[in-house]
């Protein structure tokens, strides 16, 4: 039995805060967006957290995101609905590094989590809180991975899930969502069109809208990527983090995690440069970054085969852009051809099958080396947010007739 899942530990949530205006909202109540329509962030009594945990105390606990309980919102241990969220490994791409003449970039491989993606982090937290707050039905738009994680954790929490995805969402995700008991609908539009249906359904049917950043707890789960990374690297952060950015919850969450870790004295003031990676066919954050804007206009005709980052508009756009700018990072778009090449090279050279979104971060690192955004000796972490097995793979096999003559020289 994992002690993190059964031990009663103190919790330190004080209130929720509007990310735009700073207005306070009471904890332990159901909340969506703030009054001005912006994400709510969970705040903790950080001096008290600092007294409760230390590097040594954390080192004694088993791995996995629930070890950071004092920095998480779930008050009662009985509300934790875990599927065994373990620590995800850091894997250096040695062959890729050698061929680029650079220090090997390190992949944080989030594909090892339940339901095969980092969405498990956010959704285990959101559904544990939904259970704690007594919610009965949740609804969500998804590009695939988030819906799969939502369905799994909702099943475990005994909560009904209604999921809407673009019609061309990777098939395995759509079927996985239904297999885990959710009602899933394919919509002839993009994720924000699905989000509108969820919003209307919330009004008509009383569903709770679990869209990313429209409720306060998915970001708290995603934040654990930053907590875990810091601990894995011996409480020293890398020089740069390349993050495949759709809604940007992971990037915003890690940025929040680093601030909290500094406030409780586990790290210093140094920060990695946060690099938001998008696809050329859907790059609203890159465009806003380049124009010096704080909000990103909706991207028209969004397209890329990296489904998870096909997000034309993000409710947390200003939080992504603030974090990127404050960190001294930047936003960059890569082409689908570069993504495919990166996926192929990492699989063949280093034996690591990245998802397309993970491939986008490798493609962006290669560009950064070429254009001087990153030096060859810098320590870089790339986020591979899902298992490469969740996406259609090209068929590169040959066929043999078992009784026919075999041309051995051709094999």
Residues contributing to the site for ligand PLP (CB under 6 A): 117, 143, 145-146, 212, 244-250, 308-309, 355, 357, 385-386
Closest to ligand PLP by CB, 4 or 145: 145
Closest to ligand PLP by CB, 88 or 212: 212
Query: In whole angstroms, what is the distance from residue 373 CA to residue 54 CA?
Result: 35
Closest-approach residue to ligand PLP (CB): 308
Closest to ligand PLP by CB, 34 or 211: 211
Tell me how far, at minimum, the Cβ of 45 lies from ligand PLP, in Å. Answer: 27
Tell me how far, at minimum, the Cβ of 309 lies from ligand PLP, in Å. Answer: 5
- Cβ pair 237, 229 in contact under 8 A: yes
* Residue 181 exposure: Cα atoms within 13 Å on the Cβ side: 14
Closest to ligand PLP by CB, 145 or 224: 145
Closest to ligand PLP by CB, 240 or 319: 319
Tell me how far, at minimum, the Cβ of 70 lies from ligand PLP, in Å. Answer: 24
Partners of residue 277 on adjacent β-strands: 244, 332
Tell me how far, at minimum, the Cβ of 296 lies from ligand PLP, in Å. Answer: 12
Tell me how far, at minimum, the Cβ of 243 lies from ligand PLP, in Å. Answer: 7
Return the CA Rg of the chain.
21
Closest to ligand PLP by CB, 64 or 244: 244
Helix (H, G, I), strand (E, B) or coil at 180: coil
Tell me how far, at minimum, the Cβ of 22 lies from ligand PLP, in Å. Answer: 23
Closest to ligand PLP by CB, 170 or 264: 170
Closest to ligand PLP by CB, 13 or 191: 191
Query: In whole angstroms, what is the distance from residue 121 CA to residue 132 CA?
Result: 17
Among 262, 241, 263, smallest CA distance to 252 is for 241
Query: In whole angstroms, what is the distance from residue 165 CA to residue 272 CA?
Result: 33
Closest to ligand PLP by CB, 70 or 85: 85
Tell me how far, at minimum, the Cβ of 172 lies from ligand PLP, in Å. Answer: 12
Tell me how far, at minimum, the Cβ of 320 lies from ligand PLP, in Å. Answer: 8
Query: In whole angstroms, what is the distance from residue 10 CA to residue 13 CA?
Result: 10
Tell me how far, at minimum, the Cβ of 117 lies from ligand PLP, in Å. Answer: 5
């Amino acid at each position: 039995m994992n002690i993190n899942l059964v031990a009663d530990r103190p919790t330190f949530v004080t209130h929720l805060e509007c990310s735009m205006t700073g207005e306070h909202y009471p904890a332990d109540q159901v909340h969506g967006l703030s009054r001005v329509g912006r994400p709510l962030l969970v705040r903790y009594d950080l001096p008290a957290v600092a007294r409760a945990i230390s590097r040594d105390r954390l080192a004694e606990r088993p791995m996995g995101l629930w070890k950071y309980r004092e920095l998480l919102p779930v008050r009662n241990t009985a509300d934790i609905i875990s599927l065994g969220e373990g620590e995800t490994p850091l894997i250096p791409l040695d062959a890729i590094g050698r061929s680029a003449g650079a220090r090997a970039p390190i992949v944080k491989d989030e594909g090892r989590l339940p339901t095969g993606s980092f969405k498990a982090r956010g959704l285990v937290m959101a559904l544990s809180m939904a259970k704690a707050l007594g919610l009965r039905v949740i609804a969500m738009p998804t590009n695939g991975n988030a819906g799969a994680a939502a369905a799994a954790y909702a099943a475990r929490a005994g909560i009904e899930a209604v999921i809407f995805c673009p019609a061309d969402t990777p098939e395995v995700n759509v079927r996985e969502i239904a297999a885990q008991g959710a009602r899933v609908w394919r919509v002839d539009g993009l994720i924000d069109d699905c989000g509108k249906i969820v919003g209307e359904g919330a009004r008509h049917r009383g569903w709770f809208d679990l869209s990313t950043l429209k409720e306060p707890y998915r970001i708290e789960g995603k934040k654990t990527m930053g907590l875990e990374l810091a601990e894995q690297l011996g409480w020293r952060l890398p020089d740069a983090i390349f993050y495949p950015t759709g809604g940007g919850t992971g990037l915003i969450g890690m940025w929040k995690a680093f601030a909290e870790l500094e406030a409780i004295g586990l790290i210093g003031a140094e920060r990695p440069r946060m690099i938001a990676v998008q696809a050329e066919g859907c790059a609203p954050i890159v465009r806003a970054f380049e124009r010096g804007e704080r909000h990103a206009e909706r991207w028209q005709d969004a397209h890329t085969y990296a489904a998870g980052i096909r997000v034309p508009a993000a409710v947390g756009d200003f939080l992504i852009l603030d974090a990127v700018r404050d960190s001294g990072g930047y936003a960059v778009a890569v082409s689908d051809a570069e993504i495919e090449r990166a996926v192929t090279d990492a699989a063949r050279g280093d034996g690591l099958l990245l998802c397309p979104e993970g491939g986008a971060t490798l493609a962006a690192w290669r560009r950064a080396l070429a254009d001087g955004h990153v030096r060859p000796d810098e320590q870089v972490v790339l986020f591979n947010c899902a298992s490469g097995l969740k996406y259609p793979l090209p068929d590169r096999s040959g066929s043999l007739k078992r009784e026919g003559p075999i041309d051995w020289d051709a094999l």
